[in-house]
Chain A
């Protein structure tokens, strides 16, 4: 870094450049811009969304997927893959729906129980991958069936009931002004920013980027992956809580259809499968982009059949946009070690 003295306004400008650069490194700038543009389009075609009631609905519909995608992103960043997210959401949902009581204490108790269950499930998934060295796709596919089965054992068909208080805490408005879901999302983002700034956060990126190189730098690769799965599970727990509040009932199959949405959100958010690149915030934005596209099309009166066509196209565009910037370097760095001659 050159240590030249500059006038005060310049310092500020250059600092702004640094922050902008740091932001752009996370890959969230693109998705954020897309989200803002989409939102303006939506407001233009459907100004009613600016009312608290409709804004609340808009926030609520994407929040469960956004938080689950945040959890998935942690695992993907560390170089893993988790197909069990849908089943885990179902399991958390039926767990709460069957255990929740009407007293405030019982309802409050559900929060730590769901978070703990999510974290424990994540830790089990992670242990299969890290300790038993089962490829993450296979391990989490198996666990997807497993947790889905457990959910059916707890509640074999839709049922259970969730008290209105619980529903209102999460899907209502704080002080009658801000959707609670928005507050929840902000909390998740804030926690993520903290985690990202711990050594664990840095280690997750390093392990996902190149596990061998990370190990050579004295990073414990196994425990780092395990932590990523556990934290990811914790966020599934939170997503499950929200999902339950939103649906106000239990359904052992509620999570299944969300699996693909979660992965779509991760991809649209600029997270790269394989690990090491992307950001949790990006995936959360990705979830909102998915739902906003559907809303905009609906507001324009386009048949909902087109929604998935457009979602698929957005997915491809997102991957292409991401790959144009980094794919060549990524490929090169991946190819080199395997081709270099290891000699004794």
Chain B
């Protein structure tokens, strides 16, 4: 490492309410390095990128560029400090042309300080050629481009803007193999010019291919920094996972042989690329996947919030094609979704718990279309008991409740609604430990009562703790299916990272004891 690091993060912390996203995280990036940041979901990678690109401010700590402490209060500040960012959530504007997007905010101007359209197109065309993306016309509207092309555009813009440091936040998520090669060529060119790059990826093979240094983050704190050859994949996974493997309490339970949900070759844009699996009555299937591997599309298409492109779904043996969440709840025999952002999608924060908890079941609670209040209250109370919400909390506005109680209300809805299949999308995000335990106990109870649960969590430990079976998604297809005896943290994470599928490293995934 050179004397002064090009980019240095010193003991930075960031909280979101009770959730700690970064906890005294420090790391340094040497001049001219490609530095990879890796870690599980929620390890703090994206928060770090947001801090460095000026989108959010740290609660504590310091960021230094070339030894100088800098304040990054806006993306403008970050660009001024020489830090360019290619965001994971695209920041190209769909109704502008490619050229207008590429040069947004720094359009070429003539002597009258007017934007020169011809030079705009010329410069953009030059940029596209410089970064080997000449196939895209500078006059095309961005909304006409494919998702991958938009991602490339986002990358070209930030590549071209890089004066010192370039942050790449999961740049390969939407790219195909050739486009990843393209990106890596550009990254190397930039590095050869002496620029510094921070590369965030979930994919081990990519990190090994491109990075000079790797920093592993876990729970918002750095674990280690090393060169790729200094650690095997197994070591890296160990570091990401940590050693705090808890013993999990699990009741063994008989799962009936009755298939409740049968999904075959399901495809849904952009992430789901042909998934098949089944879920039996009274079974909890855990879904393991790193962000953006198709799990959201799976949940949304099962819930009728997004139309699947192809594939078949059978529910209790009947073909099932939900066109809306209404279908899912009413005709689809009680599929329900616990969206990950409760405030936005799961509960109406300005309504009472009572109103929320009975919302999907109003039809059943009504006579001739008029909701019978006593019946509603009774149903709500019994559901509240089921999810350990006190009657006092039931009458309060949901806004006033803690995150845990809000989540319990969101779950309680589906107790009232007599749900057969519960879809749980990261239900424990931002929930305290005690509530987590309650939620898990509730899931077990529901499963015992014959309900089926599809459970996605960003926390592998949780998946291991409650699932009867784990299905791992990688790039939109099933990467592994692990029975209870096969599931280990390593194995789940290995499949999530696509290590075995990428064949770029020698790390065989075997299941010898399970191959009976």
Contacts and interface: CB of A to CB of B under 8 A. Distances in A.
Interface of A: 1-2, 18, 21-22, 25, 194, 197-199, 201-203, 205-206, 209-210, 212-220, 276-277, 326, 329-330, 333, 336-344
A344 B44 contact: yes
Nearest to A272: B95
A206 B104 contact: yes
A214 B93 contact: yes
Contacts of B42: 343-344
15 contacts: A1-B137, A194-B114, A199-B107, A199-B109, A205-B95, A217-B104, A218-B75, A218-B76, A276-B96, A326-B95, A337-B89, A341-B296, A343-B46, A344-B16, A344-B21
Given A209-B95, A212-B91, A344-B42, 11 more contacts: A1-B138, A2-B134, A199-B109, A209-B93, A217-B75, A219-B105, A220-B76, A341-B291, A343-B42, A344-B21, A344-B46
B458 interface: yes
B8 interface: no
B315 interface: no
Nearest to A199: B107
B105 A199 contact: yes
Contact of B458 (A199, A215, A343): A343
A329 B94 CA distance: 8
Contacts of A330: 94-95, 143
A240 B470 CA distance: 69
B105 A341 contact: no
Contacts of A2: 134
A198 B134 contact: no
A342 B88 CA distance: 10
B92 interface: yes
Nearest to B220: A344
B312 interface: no
Contact of B41 (A212, A336, A343): A343
B152 interface: no
Nearest to A328: B143
Contacts of A342: 46
Contacts of B22: 344
Contacts of B292: 340-341
Query: Sorted from nearest, which 6 A-B pairs have the closest CB atoms?
Result: A344-B21, A213-B91, A209-B93, A216-B91, A329-B143, A197-B114
A340 B41 CA distance: 13
Of A215, A329, A341, most buried by chain B (CB within 10 Å of CB) is A341
B87 interface: yes
A273 to B, nearest CB: 13
Q: How large is the interface on B (under 10, 10 to 19, 20 to 34, 35 or more residues)?
A: 35 or more
Contacts of A197: 114-117
A328 to B, nearest CB: 9
Nearest to A337: B89
A210 B91 contact: yes
A68 B192 CA distance: 55
Interface of B: 14, 16, 19, 21-22, 41-47, 53, 55, 74-76, 79, 85, 87, 89-97, 100, 104-107, 109, 113-117, 121, 125, 128, 134, 137-139, 141, 143, 157, 220, 291-292, 296, 300, 340, 344, 426, 458
A1 B89 CA distance: 27
Contact of B93 (A18, A210, A220, A339): A210
Nearest to B74: A215
A206 B96 contact: yes
Contact of A341 (B21, B143, B426): B426
Contacts of A203: 105
Contacts of B16: 344
A343 B116 CA distance: 40
A114 B100 CA distance: 35
A204 to B, nearest CB: 11
Contacts of A220: 76
A342 to B, nearest CB: 7
B115 A341 contact: no
B165 to A, nearest CB: 15
A339 B296 contact: yes
B97 A25 contact: yes
Contacts of A1: 121, 125, 128, 134, 137-138
Of A1, A220, A276, most buried by chain B (CB within 10 Å of CB) is A1
A339 B300 CA distance: 10
Contacts of A219: 104-105
A139 to B, nearest CB: 22
B92 A213 contact: yes
A202 B300 contact: no
B189 to A, nearest CB: 21
A176 to B, nearest CB: 34
A145 B14 CA distance: 44
B100 A216 contact: no
B12 to A, nearest CB: 12
A327 B364 CA distance: 36
Nearest to B118: A18
Given A214-B93, A216-B85, A329-B143, A338 B75 contact: no
A337 B92 CA distance: 12
A202 B95 contact: no
Nearest to B43: A344
B497 to A, nearest CB: 16
A22 B75 CA distance: 30
A220 B113 CA distance: 18
Contacts of A212: 91
Of B19, B42, B74, most buried by chain A (CB within 10 Å of CB) is B74
A261 B96 CA distance: 28
A171 to B, nearest CB: 32
A218 B105 contact: yes
